[in-house]
Amino acid sequence: MFAVNDLKVLISRDQIAYRVAAMGAEITRDFAGESIIFVGVLKGAAIFLGDLARHVDLDATFDFIGVSSYGNRPTPSQELQHGWDSTGEVRLTKDVDQSMRDKNVILVEDILDTGLTLTYLKSILLAHKPKALRIATLLDKPSRRKKPIQADYVGFSIPDEFVVGYGLDYAERYRNLPDICVVPRG
Ligand code: IMP
Ligand code: MG
């Protein structure tokens, strides 16, 4: 574990609030007159979804989906050294509670890294035959991409650093930090 004092703020709570409000306004404009379903990816997206949804002035409902990676999951310290290099085998731990058929779905994720997770989730949700499927991610690390996937709404593009806070964890901790912070690479 680290002392919170060792963490350097990369994106402050004020910058997050400003950007998330703008993303909410953009979604409101794009889906004017329609209903939407937010599908949050557990657990990292929970805080972002809560703030984003409050800036979307549309008829909206919430759902959540859960994933984990098969085997080869790095220990927290390996994860820090090498980033999140999963094998690409993603497994569903919680499915959505309702059909997404003919619905406007906004898939909400904390961070788009290699793209393996969102590529998998996108294919699962597209199988529901939604009216529209859009991806909103708070953070994007484009330099780490292994699958050619892009988000429709991106909060911030960041360099290849391991970050925590505002929902993002290191070994399940630090999700509750209000700012997004860089964890020092030992
Ligand atoms: P992807 O499948 O490689 O795009 O991984 C996305 C997932 O990896 C995110 O939902 C996070 O759980 C995790 N992840 C990737 N980078 C970070 C990071 O810097 N901090 C915390 N979690 C991360
Ligand atoms: Mg996550």
Q: How far is the CA of 82 from the centre of ligand 2 (A)?
A: 16
Q: Which residues pair with 65 in a beta bridge?
A: 41
Atom 17 (ligand 1) nearest CA: 162
| Ligand 1 closest atom vs CA 169 | 21
| Ligand 1 closest atom vs CA 85 | 3
Cβ-based neighbour number of residue 73 at 10 Å: 14
Q: Is there an atom of ligand 1 within 6 Å of 48 CB?
A: no
Q: Which CATH number is 4-69+88-182's, of 3.40.50.620, 3.30.1490.480, 3.40.50.10540, 3.40.50.2020?
A: 3.40.50.2020
Q: Is there an atom of ligand 1 within 6 Å of 158 CB?
A: no
Q: Is there an atom of ligand 1 within 6 Å of 112 CB?
A: yes
Q: What is the pLDDT of residues 113-150, one digit of tens each?
A: 999 999 999 999 999 999 999 999 999 999 999 999 99
Closest to 90 measured CA to CA, from 108, 54, 117, 123: 117
Give the residue numbers annotated as catalytic, written as ranges: 113
Strand 132-140, strand 153-157: pairing: parallel
Percent of the chain with pLDDT over 90: 82
| Ligand 1 closest atom vs CA 168 | 21
Residue of 73, 113, 139, 173 to test ligand 1 pocket, by largest number of atoms within 8 Å of CB: 113
Per-residue model confidence (pLDDT) at position 69: 76
Q: What is the pLDDT of residues 150-173, one digit of tens each?
A: 999 999 999 999 999 999 999 999
Average pLDDT, the chain: 92
Residue of 84, 122, 172, 177 to test ligand 1 pocket, by largest number of atoms within 8 Å of CB: 84
This prediction's pTM? 0.93
Tell me which ligand sits closest to the C-alpha of residue 112. Answer: 1
Strand residue runs (E) in 14-172: 35-42, 59-69, 90-94, 104-112, 132-140, 153-157, 163-164
Q: How far is the CA of 18 from the centre of ligand 1 (A)?
A: 23
The predicted model gives 39-46 an average pLDDT of 97
